[in-house]
Chain A
Amino acid sequence: MTAHSSIKEGTPRVSKTKAAGIEFSAVNMTFADGTTALKSLDLVIEEGEFVVFVGPSGCGKSTALRILAGLEQATGGTIAIKGRDVTDLGPQHRDIAMVFQSYALYPHKTVYENLAYPLKIRGLGKAAIETAVAGVADLLGLAALLQRKPGALSGGQRQRVAMGRALVRNPKAFLMDEPLSNLDAALRVEMRGEIRRLHRRLGVTTVYVTHDQVEAMTMGDRVAVLRGGELQQFDAPQRLYEQPANMFVASFIGSPAINLAMAELGAGSAAVTLAGNAIPLPPSRRVEGQSAGPVMIGIRPEAFSYRRDLEHDVSLTITPDLIESLGAELLVHFAIPAASVPVALTSSAKSAVSQISLPGNAREVSTRFVAKLDARCAYAVGQEATVWFSTDHLMLFEAATGRTILASAPMLKLPV
């Protein structure tokens, strides 16, 4: 895969200044019932890095984390933590700490005992345990709750105890399996920031699993997008957004989801035709691997503008059929007469939405698009309007595979 070639290229790994924190080498996982959860996963996580595994359910992200923790035994490949091969070690010998989705607090132990448990197992003295627990309790604001049992805590407090139990010792890595998914929305945003700050402070390699692309984008130094047990792309969040390796990544990252439709690439790759509109491709961007024929086009909702300026040079005439207000911005929905892209190549939940067509035009070939426009545009439902976008923001994908075929666009400047 091209996306993570940056890791493999250049001089041998050993001579790098930073040692690899965690390394997956050709890890395979096939369950007893024959389902394949991971296909030859290769991934190197730098020491001290915060990496997020993201993907739809069943993509293998949790399995990858559980294999890293030693809770599942991979059917092939090796796992190394800080240069030590841990493939055949049980979880108790890997020196990692983990925060579970359900928190997995010990319900029969008090908060203090929960926090002390990992230290007690390591045979620390009473005084040392007390100091460590007090430190963590201070850090997370748990000092007043130490004598309570988990049953008497709120969801947010339980989450903090779970974090505390991981923080109390100095593990080689923190593993987090959707740790915020049981919290309400406001608390989730708050804890998101808190986990990031803790990571910056402690600098311990962290692997974080989530199905929420917003969490992935906001938290990860780098994000690994998985699908069907295969790594799609491993990159910094901004690069995932701007230079997705394929249509799946493009459709998974971003909200509202990227607009996708079938289009026709003109001879010599000079222009692409979308719903009858010929869109010239800028000479600065080369099409790789294909010269003409059907392709899939992607335009992010944020790439649209209601007015023409230097950046936005291509126009589309649309008829909005639904307008949702976000306050400063509007989500303007419209249909364009182009065929939809194959569901199999996108993240299915989002493409399902684009499949819905209104009863009136059920027979026409049409695809739903969304534009995120400045609220000043004052468009109205049913009234024809013009939206503009730039060819710099265009993405093209190979029809058969969904692979990105248009060379990277320059930095996308979003309206502030």
Chain B
Amino acid sequence: MTSATLPPPRPTRRLLRARILTLIRAGAALIVSLMFFAPIYWMVLTAFKSGNEAFNATPSLIVWPDFGNFSLVLTQSNFGLALSTSLFVATTSTVFCLILGASIAYPLARIKMRGQKHIAFWILSLRIIPPIAVIIPLFLLLRSVGLTGSIWSLVIVYTYMNLPLTVWLLRGFFADLPAEIEEASFVDGAGRFRTFIGVTLPLTAPGFIATALLCFIFAWNEFLFANILTGAATRTAPVGLTEYVTPVSVEWNKIMAAGTLVVLPVWIGALAAQRYLVRGLTLGAVK
């Protein structure tokens, strides 16, 4: 081809204008993103600062990373314990949610029956109730069975809180899977259970992961119930954080280190599952 030897064609004016517009948009997007990122940067930065730097009137924007605050937070206080409590509560409630949720969502998505829609909407409507509105009865209920102060009270409450979301999301993921693929498996000789394990589950795994992530995040970040239902030994990380703030001393660098530790795992998870986050957050309304 002769074109290989030709110089690249000069961009037309229209193309040039489009490029400049793109540049402007990219610049604006960058500024906006930095504005949203700035507080986060400030938190992480402070977490690496020494006590004096944190209170400096002229803030330093760059510091030498010092992991001292993190090790202090994890060793000197109960915060390490709080983190592991949070991990246990969030993980356990997520597992319960997925098991109970899938066992409701799968029949709801697959089996034709009357009133199916009503059941689905009733479950969804549970999400509209403000937690503060049910906390007193739930508190009294859990106290009457002696569960207040126990980790399990939180596991129960978080499972209940996240179950509507789980059912709604998983139902959508199951409904998206063409029924014919499962039917092919039936015809090939597999029963319902084997089909679910061998065909349905692997094909809806991304949906399960996204749902699990959201359940985990909500449980991990929850404060209202955790503050009321836990005792000294069963504090979750968000509750543990509040204890750093005392009238006598506020060690901001340690608080920020602890805050970073709370936020880090969900950031990693959220970034890894970005693709499914939108669908999850909108209960499947936007894919």
Contact = CB atoms under 8 A, between A and B. Distances in A.
A303 B186 CA distance: 48
Contact of A92 (B113, B187, B202): B187
B114 A91 contact: no
Contact of A90 (B114, B184, B188, B191): B191
A328 B184 CA distance: 45
Contacts of B203: 106-108
A96 B187 contact: yes
Contacts, number: 64
Nearest to A101: B180
B186 A71 contact: yes
B180 A117 contact: no
Interface in B188-228: 188-191, 194, 199, 202-203
Contacts of A70: 186-187
Interface residues of B, number: 19
A98 B186 CA distance: 10
Contacts of A378: none
A97 interface: yes
A269 interface: no
A205 B132 CA distance: 65
Contacts of A94: 187
A104 B184 contact: yes
Q: Chain B contact residues: over half helix, strand or loop, or mixed?
A: helix
Contact of B190 (A95, A96, A102, A121): A121
B83 to A, nearest CB: 36
Contacts of A104: 178, 180-181, 183-184
> Does more than half of chain A's interface fall in helix, strand or loop, or is it mixed?
loop
A71 B183 contact: yes
B185 interface: yes
A121 to B, nearest CB: 4
A122 interface: yes
B247 to A, nearest CB: 58
Given A32-B113, A106-B199, A108-B202, A118 B188 contact: yes
B10 interface: no
Contacts of B188: 92, 97, 117-118, 121, 165
B112 interface: yes
A91 B186 contact: yes
B187 A69 contact: yes
Nearest to B188: A118
Contacts of A118: 188-189
A32 B183 contact: no
A97 B188 CA distance: 7
Contacts of A122: 189
Contacts of B112: 32
A334 interface: no
Contact of B181 (A95, A106, A121): A106
A379 interface: no
Interface in B126-155: none
Contact of B189 (A92, A101, A106, A175): A92
Contacts of A102: 178, 180
Contacts of B185: 106, 117
Contacts of A71: 183, 186-187
A121 B183 contact: no
A161 to B, nearest CB: 11
Interface residues of A, number: 26
Contacts of B189: 92, 95, 118, 121-122
Interface in A71-97: 71, 90-92, 94-97
Contacts of B114: 32
Q: Which of A98, A165, A175 has the most CB of B within 10 A?
A: A98
Residue among B112, B178, B189, B194 with max Cβ neighbours from chain A (10 Å)? B189
A113 to B, nearest CB: 10
Contacts of A91: 183, 186-187
B181 A92 contact: no
A60 B114 CA distance: 22
A414 to B, nearest CB: 40
Contacts of A98: 183-184, 187
Nearest to A91: B186
A100 B183 contact: yes
Contacts of B183: 69, 71, 91, 98, 100, 104
A100 B190 contact: no
A123 to B, nearest CB: 10
A122 B180 CA distance: 20
A90 B186 contact: yes
A117 B184 CA distance: 10
A135 to B, nearest CB: 17
Interface string A103-129: 011111000000001100110000000
A117 B112 CA distance: 27
A91 B191 CA distance: 8
A32 B112 CA distance: 8
Nearest to B114: A32
A55 B191 CA distance: 32
B182 to A, nearest CB: 8
Given A32-B113, A107-B203, A165 B184 contact: yes
B184 A92 contact: no
Interface in A22-66: 32
A167 B269 CA distance: 44
B261 to A, nearest CB: 37
A124 B249 CA distance: 71
Given A70-B186, A91-B187, A92-B187, 20 more contacts: A32-B112, A32-B114, A69-B183, A70-B187, A90-B186, A96-B187, A97-B187, A97-B188, A98-B184, A100-B184, A102-B178, A102-B180, A104-B180, A104-B181, A104-B183, A105-B181, A106-B181, A107-B181, A118-B188, A121-B194
22 contacts: A32-B112, A69-B187, A71-B186, A71-B187, A92-B189, A96-B187, A97-B188, A98-B187, A100-B183, A102-B178, A102-B180, A104-B183, A104-B184, A105-B181, A106-B185, A106-B199, A117-B188, A121-B188, A121-B189, A121-B190, A165-B184, A165-B188
6 pairs of A and B residues whose beta carbons are closest in the complex:
A104-B184, A118-B188, A104-B180, A91-B186, A121-B189, A98-B187
Interface of A: 32, 69-71, 90-92, 94-98, 100-102, 104-108, 117-118, 121-122, 165, 175
Interface of B: 112-114, 178, 180-181, 183-191, 194, 199, 202-203
